[in-house]
Chains A and B, each alone.
Chain A
Amino acid sequence: MKPIEIAKDIFWVGCIDWNIRDFHGYSTYQGSTYNSYLILDDHVTLIDTVKKEFADQLISNIAQIIDPKKIDYVVSNHTEMDHSGGLARLMHRVGENKPLYCSKAGYKNLSMHFLNNWNYQPVENGGELRLGKRSLTFLETRMLHWPDSMFSYVKEDRLLFSSDAFGQHYAGLERFDDQIGDKIMPHARKYFANILLLYSQLVLDLVAKVSDMNLALDMICPDHGIIWRKDPSKIIKAYVEWGEQKPKRKALVVYDTMWESTEKMAHAIVDGLGKDGVEAVPMHLRKWHRSDIMTELLDAGAVVVGSPTLNNGLFPTVSDLFTYMKGLRPKNKIAAAFGSYGWSGEAVKLINRQLEGMKFDIIDPGITVQFVPDDKKLDECFELGRKIARALPE
């Protein structure tokens, strides 16, 4: 896609990755973009690059506006390779001696990705860089979502380059929120649930800090997806809501099944939940991607996990989900377990141990069924659904 002038003399020169479907284990059904921004001023500045395989496209995008050699400054807001992978080719083209601005942690981390002697210029939190008519202010945003993450702010244009924060994995010809409307929100939400959830408190602290600083924002330009210009406060408000993790009357019912016994239990639990007006979908772990499950978990007040007992243990996909979920540290959940077994039946106990480890409030010891659930057992499952519904906030 050709470059787009997003504000006077500020251009989006990023690349669209239309067909990526698996982004380090996160499902990206609609691709993604790697956003890079070029500022024309007395000192021409490039903010962030793209994935390595898109480096030529980035350089060609820049060349449609200005000879890449005329870039004076390069800024790296984040070391992760979807934003730094293009640096090697870019620096080669721009000039290896050109100053490369990054956070102090960025300096350390970039040095471990690229074996070279680039002219790194680690910046202080709050430090300013004069470009000419405008200046860049650097704001450290450690652990949002890497130690090196930072934002760059142009006060003259009231424009924030927010690195991965406020981004979305979405490939489209739209470059702005007003071109796509609310269709973008599920993508932003999925991004939060899978990348930022564990840093929810830092997100809330950052939003509070930014509002204390009275940082005027006409535009938020993330490194993935569309730019927020119509109403940047909309995504900030959404981040606060997601970060607070207030439990809703919604339950995540996830399970795997071998001979459909655990599945029957899942359906009965969902029935019971629905009876009392709780939103719930039975999610089979081999039909739903773990990153979609985490997105559903974001505002769910309850987590109900089912697993058959396989060779005295959990079904592998259940362990996979727990590994992933635990790392993202969801909060404020009630929980329960269920599962069928043939002769030993350890799964429910093992699920409860995992749920306890995540500090969920286990409201029932869980239901186990030997081999196939009869009507009585399915009624118990239905009642478990109702019990969870009663325990959820109105």
Chain B
Amino acid sequence: MDRYVCSLCGYVYDPKEGDPDNGIDPGTPFEDLPDDWTCPICGATKEEFNKE
């Protein structure tokens, strides 16, 4: 599973950790994040993330 980096603020989405504060379980691949998921740091949309 690939990690993805927010091009706006540098936050790294690590599928191993997920984003539990926003209801994303550990083990969720980036591709499976809901379309309306946004960067927990800066609010960027999924399109603004690049593969690490």
Contacts and interface: CB of A to CB of B under 8 A. Distances in A.
A99 interface: no
B51 to A, nearest CB: 17
Number of contact residues on A: which range applies?
under 10
A106 to B, nearest CB: 13
Contacts of B9: 143, 147
Contacts of A147: 9, 41-43
Interface majority SS (helix, strand, loop, mixed), chain B: loop
Contacts of A142: 42-43
Contacts of A299: none
B49 to A, nearest CB: 14
A202 interface: yes
A140 interface: yes
Nearest to A201: B8
Contacts of A202: 8
Interface in B2-52: 8-9, 41-43
A131 to B, nearest CB: 27
B45 to A, nearest CB: 12
A120 B23 CA distance: 23
A200 to B, nearest CB: 12
A202 B41 CA distance: 15
A145 to B, nearest CB: 10
Contacts of B41: 105, 147
Interface in A96-154: 105, 140, 142-143, 147
B39 to A, nearest CB: 9
B8 A140 contact: no
A314 B8 CA distance: 29
A202 B7 CA distance: 12
A125 to B, nearest CB: 9
Contacts of A105: 41-43
Contacts of B42: 105, 142-143, 147
Contacts of B43: 105, 140, 142, 147
Contacts of A199: 8
A142 B43 CA distance: 7
A147 B41 CA distance: 6
B20 to A, nearest CB: 15
A130 to B, nearest CB: 26
A286 to B, nearest CB: 30
A140, A142, A199 — most chain B CB neighbours (10 Å) = A142
Interface of A: 105, 140, 142-143, 147, 199, 202
Closest 8 CB pairs of A and B: A147-B42, A142-B43, A143-B42, A142-B42, A147-B41, A143-B8, A143-B9, A147-B9
10 contacts: A105-B41, A105-B42, A105-B43, A140-B43, A142-B42, A143-B9, A147-B9, A147-B41, A147-B43, A202-B8
Interface of B: 8-9, 41-43
Given A105-B43, A142-B43, A147-B41, 9 more contacts: A105-B41, A105-B42, A140-B43, A143-B9, A143-B42, A147-B9, A147-B42, A147-B43, A202-B8
